Amino acid sequence: MTRKRAKPNQFEARLIQLLKRRFEQARLTVQDHLKVGKLPLEIDMLVRSSRAQLHASSARLPKLFRYFRRHNVLEIKTEQTPLKVSDLLKLHAYTWLYMEQRQIYEVAQVTATVIAHHLPAQVRAKLRALKYHRVSKGVYKNRSAFDSYLLDLSELPEALTPVELQIFTNAERRERVFIASYKKIEKQAILNAITDLYESEAVKLMVKLNVKPQSMRKFVEALGTEKVAKSLRQEELLSAINKKALVAAIMSDEKALHLLLSKMERKKLSAKASKTSRRKQQAHAVRP
């Protein structure tokens, strides 16, 4: 059974949005899709700090990112856009281009980071050749010039992984984040990311939590009743039919209700057509 997912570039865009919000809370300056050449050469994220604010900003950052210096280049690789060996080479090239563009000559004030959903076998096989060394679980470092980091989300300890990155790891972690966040107003951006990118998972979690009708209505309204209805498959609908909060929230929207009913009818018609086809095949088989 396939899960409904957003388009690949939406995952990267949402992760950049969440990290930008977190870094700006630490009073850092953030730019995304920064051009570093005449060709369409772009850095996914650039996180900067003034010399005066560097220490104070670092203290506000999640522990994972406290190695940041004044200029920090970030590249994002989600599950939908797996990391390639060439991406590690491009990270260094783009960082040097950025330094040349801004006339930055203190390499000690620069870091480069790739945040990757996982490390494919081809990448792992080349880490030693590229001088990346494992410094802790999920963290690899290259000290050839400026400090360069490779963060493997599939390997990082959960306690060290910021919540913004947790939702891009796996369904189990997303569930824990969702349950911990859905009642907290300050976590609304996290919930929105989960519901936008992993619709079916979010709907099933709301059913599983059996939340109060008022909370369910807010959730359905925020996501959109039609979107919730589309993300519910037949078997999920049947398992949720006794969850009054979800049903009431969707029933209040005539269009969404019609959509659900039409999905059920299509399922029945499909089953009936399959049954008729099997009967014809059986009848044909017994003919002399």
- What is the DSSP code (8-state) at residue 287? -
Least confident of 3-12, 26-35, 61-70: 3-12
Per residue in 164-209, pLDDT (tens digit) is: 899 889 989 988 888 787 767 567 788 778 877 887 787 777 767 6
Of residues 22 and 231, the one with the higher pLDDT is 22
Per residue in 50-79, pLDDT (tens digit) is: 888 888 788 889 999 999 999 999 999 998
* Tokens encoding 211: 């939340």
CA angle 140, 141, 144 (to 5 degrees): 150
Residue type at 246?
L
Instruction: Provide the pLDDT for residue 214.
Output: 62
Q: What percent of the chain has pLDDT over 70?
A: 66
Give me the CATH topology for the region 8-163. Trna Endonuclease; Chain: A, domain 1 (3.40.1350)
Mean pLDDT of the chain, nearest integer: 77
Residue 241 has pLDDT above 50, yes or no: no
Using CA atoms, how far apart are residues 249 and 255, in angstroms rounded to an integer? 12
Instruction: Provide the pLDDT for residue 238.
Output: 46
Residue 17 has pLDDT above 70, yes or no: yes
Per residue in 125-159, pLDDT (tens digit) is: 999 999 999 999 999 999 888 999 999 999 999 99
Using CA atoms, how far apart are residues 232 and 203, in angstroms rounded to an integer? 8
Name the phi and psi angles at 206, rounded to 5: -65, -40
pTM of the model: 0.68
Q: Tell me the β-bridge partners of 75.
A: 114
Residue 269 pLDDT grade (very low, low, confident, very high; cuts 50, 70, 90):
very low
Domain ranges in the chain are: 8-163, 167-274
What Cα–Cα distance (Å) separates residue 149 from each residue in 48, 160, 232?
17, 15, 40
Instruction: Provide the pLDDT for residue 126.
Output: 96
Average pLDDT value for residue range 19-43? 74
Of residues 80 and 263, the one with the higher pLDDT is 80
- Give the E-state strand segments of the chain in sequence order: 29-35, 42-48, 71-77, 110-116, 133-136, 139-142, 147-152
Residue 285 has pLDDT above 90, yes or no: no
